[in-house]
């Protein structure tokens, strides 16, 4: 399969990257260590060349996993990690102070077994630290050669502009899928204007946009979706007709629902690099091959109409989680 690569800063990558979070936590227990190591090696063998992790994933264990699994293959992929959402004494914390960012980077470099992180994101804003101070610390890390590019995650278009004025921002990561259209309010257009690559996370709707239906009564006790309104009733049931629609479109194209969802993100923004996560080897291959799925123009129009932002029942985050980010919201969400 030959597909045109997409650009993140100075790097050209396959249009579909790999989010590594679910190997360590979020939607269920951590994968067996040996299985996770084999999974990551298989991903790079397939051709994945953009891997995304973060300090907080598995309290550092996700970075350790990548460092161990891909030691000696660092030149084969672009590596992204994140700081600010950190941990201390086994507890999560948000700390965007320059000293904390520097310390977090040193710890990540050690866990990842590398001398440089290609793309280092602020995982979320720290309301107690001026954004410009945090970006200044990241700019220092670029000058020191410890990171190559700076990224932002879950921030508004205004914060992207402010950060970009301090130091060029290479990528903006935010949730974007048929189920979550918020980046269309301002972030995607601002990325285009500034030459920033948009990186959609959860592009298959946190597993909702898949051939196998989720069971809202069967989530693992540690599953994040237990706290997200649209993944619990009454909203989950209210959204089932949308799933029926996307399945019909996928059947028409002879692809999986997840492949259709990924192809949609790729078509919405010709520069975007979505990073679906999975622990399933078949899904790993399917997601990679979604870059070759071509959605006809009339189907794109249908999908955009059927999955209009106000057609989805339930908020994407709980009120507490929403308060930690600055992403734009539609008027009807207030």
100: buried, middle or exposed (CB in 10 Å: 19+, 13-18, 0-12)?
Answer: buried
Q: Quick check: bond before 234 cis, omega within 30?
A: yes
pLDDT digits (tens, 9 = 90+) for 275-284: 999 999 999 9
The residue among 324, 329, 9 whose CA lies nearest residue 187 is: 329
Residue 331 placed within a domain:
no
Give me the number of domains the chain comprises. 1
Q: How far apart are CA 145 and CA 28, in angstroms?
A: 36
Residue 269 placed within a domain:
yes
Residue 2 placed within a domain:
no
What is the mean pLDDT of the segment spanning 10-31? 95
What is the mean pLDDT of the segment spanning 290-297? 97
Cβ atoms of residues 95 and 84 within 8 Å: yes
pLDDT digits (tens, 9 = 90+) for 241-286: 999 999 999 999 999 999 999 999 999 999 999 999 999 999 999 9
DSSP output for 99-151: HHHHHHHHHHHHHHT-S-EEEEEE-S--TTS-HHHHHHHHHHHHHTTSEEEEE
Task: Write down the pTM of the prediction.
Answer: 0.96
Q: Which residues touch 295 (CB under 8 Å, ≥6 apart)?
A: 253, 260, 263, 264, 267, 303
So what's the pLDDT on residue 334?
76
So what's the pLDDT on residue 76?
97
So what's the pLDDT on residue 28?
87
Tokens standing for residue 33: 């260590």
So what's the pLDDT on residue 153?
98
Residues tagged active-site: 57
What is the mean pLDDT of the segment spanning 126-143? 98
Residue 334 placed within a domain:
no
Band (89; pLDDT cuts 50, 70, 90): confident
Residue 1 placed within a domain:
no
Residue 214 placed within a domain:
yes
So what's the pLDDT on residue 294?
96
Longest dimension (CA), the chain: 53
Name beta bridge partners: 197: 171
Any idea what the CATH number is for the domain that residue 161 is in? 3.20.20.100
By residue range, what is the domain housing residue 128?
7-326
Q: How far apart are CA 262 and CA 200, in angstroms?
A: 10
So what's the pLDDT on residue 2?
77
So what's the pLDDT on residue 1?
60
CA-to-CA dists, residue 170 to 22, 122, 159, 163, 303, angstroms: 24, 12, 14, 11, 29
């Amino acid at each position: 399969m030959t597909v045109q690569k997409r650009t993140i800063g100075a790097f050209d990558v396959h249009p579909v990257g790999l989010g590594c979070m679910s190997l360590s936590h979020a939607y269920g227990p951590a994968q067996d260590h040996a299985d996770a190591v084999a999974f990551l090696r298989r991903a790079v063998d397939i051709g994945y060349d953009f891997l995304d992790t973060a300090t907080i994933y598995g309290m550092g264990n996700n970075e350790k996993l990548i460092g161990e699994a891909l030691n000696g293959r660092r030149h084969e992929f672009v590596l992204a990690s994140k700081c600010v959402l950190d941990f201390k004494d086994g507890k999560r914390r948000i700390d965007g102070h320059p000293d904390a960012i520097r310390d977090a980077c040193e710890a990540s470099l050690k866990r990842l077994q590398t001398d440089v992180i290609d793309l280092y994101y602020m995982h979320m804003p720290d309301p107690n630290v001026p954004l410009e101070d945090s970006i200044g610390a990241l700019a220092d890390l670029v000058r020191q050669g410890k990171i190559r590019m700076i990224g932002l995650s879950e921030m508004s278009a205004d914060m992207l502009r402010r950060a970009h004025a301090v130091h060029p921002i290479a990528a903006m990561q935010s949730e974007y899928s048929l189920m979550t259209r918020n980046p269309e309010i301002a972030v995607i257009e601002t990325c285009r204007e500034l030459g920033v690559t948009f990186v959609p996370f959860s592009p298959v709707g946190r597993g909702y946009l898949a051939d196998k239906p989720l069971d809202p009564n069967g989530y693992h006790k540690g599953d994040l979706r237990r706290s997200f309104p649209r993944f619990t009733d009454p909203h989950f049931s209210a959204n089932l007709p949308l799933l029926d629609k996307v399945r019909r479109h996928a059947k028409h194209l002879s692809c999986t629902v997840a492949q259709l969802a990924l192809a949609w993100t790729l078509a919405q923004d010709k520069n975007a690099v979505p990073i679906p996560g999975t622990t399933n080897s078949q899904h790993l291959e399917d997601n990679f091959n979604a870059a070759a799925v071509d959605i006809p123009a009339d189907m794109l129009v249908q999908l955009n109409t059927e999955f209009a932002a106000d057609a989805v029942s339930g908020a994407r985050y709980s009120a507490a989680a929403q308060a930690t980010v600055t992403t734009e919201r539609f008027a009807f969400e207030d």
